[in-house]
Structure 1
Amino acid sequence: MQETKNNSKNKIGSFIKILIVILLLISIINAIYIVKENEYAYVTRFSKFVEIQDTAGLHFKIPLLDKVETLPQFRMKYDIPASEVLTGDKKTLVVDNFAVWQIDDPYTFMKTVSRISEMENRIDAVVYNAVKNTLGTMDQSDIINSDNGSIDNVNIKITDMVNAQLKNYGISTIAVEIKRLDLPKDNESAVYNRMISERTQMAESYRADGNLEASKVVNETDKEVGILLSKAEATAEELKGEGESEYMKIIANAYSTEDRANYYEFVRSLEALKVTMQGEKTIFLPADSYIVRVLNGGN
């Protein structure tokens, strides 16, 4: 009987020891927490702030009393839902943005918003106001036709405005970027048609300017051609006059003596006879014709 009681006591003692060991292990486990790379640990005790741990590795806390919440140190991207804004000329654009942000001061962050989702809601509202105020000073056509440099300047301006409004939350906004600019579905066709009409008018204007310049070039060229032709005709008339003058000199020399005159008349008569006698012809010449006298061997 006594031996049975001793065995029971031993079992109970062993069970208690095991239970104590288990409780100690649980306490030790609960007293340890791990901080990962790029992570903050925000420690509270009875809901009161104790410390912020930003060193990666194993750390200790008081079991059951301390509560540990982790926050990211790395940069986060928040894809903001697309929204409509009015431009400076009272036209609607659908703007799709995203924001890159990070927690710089975890203590301030936990005191003001404490949750990532709540911070994203505030970023959403602030970005919308910044985009509305910035694009509200620009015309729709200028925004749509902006090059990359102009869009970058708009993004920088929006980012600065967002940072100024969110600086009291312990965060910083690295960048706010416009991903896409769209037209609302209900007036997209009308805007496209208007843009096509404007481009057509511009094309017609350029075409008219080109035709005007072409006419100027053609007129100038025709004028130069006329001047050149006039000069050429004047030169031709001058050469023609010189040739006729030279011809008259030759004729004058040919008739300068009686022998020359008779020889010239003889040659011209033969040439005339040669031309006249071509083909089958009957020619009647007066008896006193010079050609008849030549044919008859007379003078």
Structure 2
Amino acid sequence: KDKKYIWVDTTARWKIKDPLKFFQSVYDERGGQARLDDIIDAAVRDVVTAHNLIEIVRSSNRLIEQISSLQEGKEFIEEGALEEVKVGRDKMRERIINIAKQILPQYGIELIDVRIKRVNYVEEVRKKVYERMIAERKRAAERYRSEGRGIRAEIEGRTEKELKVILSEAYKKAQEIKGEADAKATQIYADAYSKDPQFFSFLKTLDTYKDSIDKNTTIILDTNSDYFKYLKKIKSSPQSP
């Protein structure tokens, strides 16, 4: 019905109901089998062409019901990848049996059962079907990759934002600690200066010496310079004879 060319392989169980009619019409088992094949093939063709392909592939909508709760399943259903079954394989098989049963008694044959063994596309259509399946899988894969890239970008953006917040808070905390330390050091210096200004001046001068003078330093100073007043009080160590 949906213009898809397929090949249906069936098998049947039958028995001779009226030996006289059977002998007069088909003569022997080989003739009976040939006539049965013709009748069943015609019945299969009439029933199958009256329905869409999905009807002979599945017997129920259980597959749709099982995956409808999954996100991927919902997308497949919305895109038409999973069609809803209205008749189903079992009912189509029953219709094939009923059609054949109306014809076979005139040949002395009783049809017991018909089974559909396999349904497949004809060779020229099969390649197109495979290409469509591959294209659908690629499309689904690309959708997953796109969603993954979006999630990755979201995570990276959130991580970068959190990192900036952490660094900002750390810098703020460091500045607070540094400010407290500087204030405490200033207070210590102020207390030391208030207790002994001369000693405090001496310590500060020593710090200046430490920062600006090493063994390779040459300094030219006025003897009246405040910077020199502590140096000139240092006595040179006696040289060894």
The aligned residue for residue 106 of structure 1 is 17
The aligned residue for residue 44 of structure 1 is none
Report the Cα distance in structure 1 between the residues aligned to 2:20 and 2:45, rounded to whole angstroms: 21
User: What number of residue pairs does the alignment pair up?
Assistant: 201
1:297 CA displacement: 2.5
- 1:159 corresponds, among 93, 108, 129, to 93
1:283 CA displacement: 0.9
The aligned residue for residue 266 of structure 1 is 202
1:132 CA displacement: 2.4
Structure with greater proportional helix content: 2
- 1:251 corresponds, among 182, 189, 199, to 189
- 2:50 corresponds, among 113, 129, 133, to 133
**8 Å contact 2:8–2:118 — kept in the other structure?**
yes
Distance 1:277 1:171, change over 3 A: same
Counterpart residue identity of residue 124, structure 1: D
Report the Cα distance in structure 2 between the residues aligned to 1:108 and 1:219, rounded to whole angstroms: 84
Report the Cα distance in structure 1 between the residues aligned to 2:42 and 2:20, rounded to whole angstroms: 17
- 1:120 corresponds, among 33, 37, 47, to 37
- 2:163 corresponds, among 200, 225, 228, to 225
3-state DSSP class of the match of 1:222?
Answer: helix
Report the Cα distance in structure 1 between the residues aligned to 2:63 and 2:42, rounded to whole angstroms: 26
**8 Å contact 2:57–2:89 — kept in the other structure?**
no
Listed as ranges, the matches of 1:210-221 within 5 Å are 210-221=148-159
1:122 CA displacement: 0.9
The aligned residue for residue 68 of structure 1 is none
1:195 CA displacement: 4.2
Report the Cα distance in structure 2 between the residues aligned to 1:234 and 1:267, rounded to whole angstroms: 32
Distance 1:188 1:156, change over 3 A: closer
| CA RMSD between the two structures | 3.8
Counterpart residue identity of residue 232, structure 1: A
Name the % identity. Answer: 23
Structure 2 unmatched ranges of 5 or more: 65-84, 235-241
Counterpart residue identity of residue 131, structure 1: V
3-state DSSP class of the match of 1:292?
Answer: coil
**8 Å contact 1:109–1:171 — kept in the other structure?**
no
Listed as ranges, the matches of 1:54-133 within 5 Å are 88=2, 90-93=3-6, 95-103=7-15, 106-107=17-18, 110=21, 116-117=32-33, 118-133=35-50
Query: So what's the TM-score if we normalise by structure 2?
Result: 0.66
The aligned residue for residue 285 of structure 1 is 221
Distance 1:251 1:97, change over 3 A: same
1:213 CA displacement: 1.7
1:128 CA displacement: 2.2
1:239 CA displacement: 1.6
Structure 1 unmatched ranges of 5 or more: 1-86
Counterpart residue identity of residue 182, structure 1: Y
Structure with greater proportional strand content: 1
Q: Alpha-carbon deviations, 1:108-129, whole Å to 9, x = none?
A: 9947966622223211211222
Report the Cα distance in structure 1 between the residues aligned to 2:37 and 2:131, rounded to whole angstroms: 38
- 2:142 corresponds, among 192, 195, 204, to 204
**8 Å contact 1:98–1:179 — kept in the other structure?**
yes
Report the Cα distance in structure 2 between the residues aligned to 1:225 and 1:292, rounded to whole angstroms: 52
Distance 1:109 1:283, change over 3 A: farther
